[in-house]
């Protein structure tokens, strides 16, 4: 099963040796996305704005692989501060219908220290047999 490396101008360029995502065996694996706007290069200051931008970046990569947000089957949400959970969760939830994907969420420090409050990665399934909804 060959893999396809995904890149899109609609997400910020990777800042290390990784791809926006890879597609293999009917799955799209989206690398952890930060809150930088790919057009303006700006990062929102608040958790709501950062979560919205991260989800837009995830969406762009899933779409580059031929999928939609409804195809996402699993996400990992990493918050810098769990006190931001409720606000981040409200924005995150607005990107999915009544049947959101499986998810984990945890708190981790930001080693780069440039104000990133949230990072999210995702797995989408776009194979021939979609999960029953």
Enumerate the active-site residues: 105
Interior CA angle at 105 toward 27 and 78, to 5°?
85
Q: Are 14 and 103 in contact (CB under 8 A)?
A: no
The separation between CA 58 and the C-alpha centre of its own chain, rounded to angstroms, equals 4
Q: Are 83 and 129 in contact (CB under 8 A)?
A: no
Report how far apart, in Å, the C-alpha atoms of 89 and of each of 45, 121, 123 are: 17, 15, 18
Q: Are 51 and 88 in contact (CB under 8 A)?
A: yes
- φ, ψ dihedrals at 50, nearest 5°: -65, -45
């Amino acid at each position: 099963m060959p893999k396809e490396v995904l890149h899109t101008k609609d997400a910020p360029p990777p800042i290390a040796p990784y791809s926006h995502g890879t597609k293999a065996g009917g799955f799209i694996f989206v690398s952890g996305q930060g809150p930088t706007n790919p057009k303006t290069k700006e990062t929102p200051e608040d958790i709501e704005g950062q979560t919205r931008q991260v989800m837009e970046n995830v969406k762009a990569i899933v779409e580059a692989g031929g999928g939609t947000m409804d195809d996402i089957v699993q996400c990992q949400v990493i918050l810098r501060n769990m006190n931001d959970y409720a606000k981040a969760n409200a924005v995150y939830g607005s990107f999915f219908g009544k049947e959101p994907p499986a998810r984990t969420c945890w708190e981790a420090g930001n080693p780069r220290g440039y104000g990133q409050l949230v990072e999210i990665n995702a797995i989408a399934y776009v194979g021939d047999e979609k999960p029953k909804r």
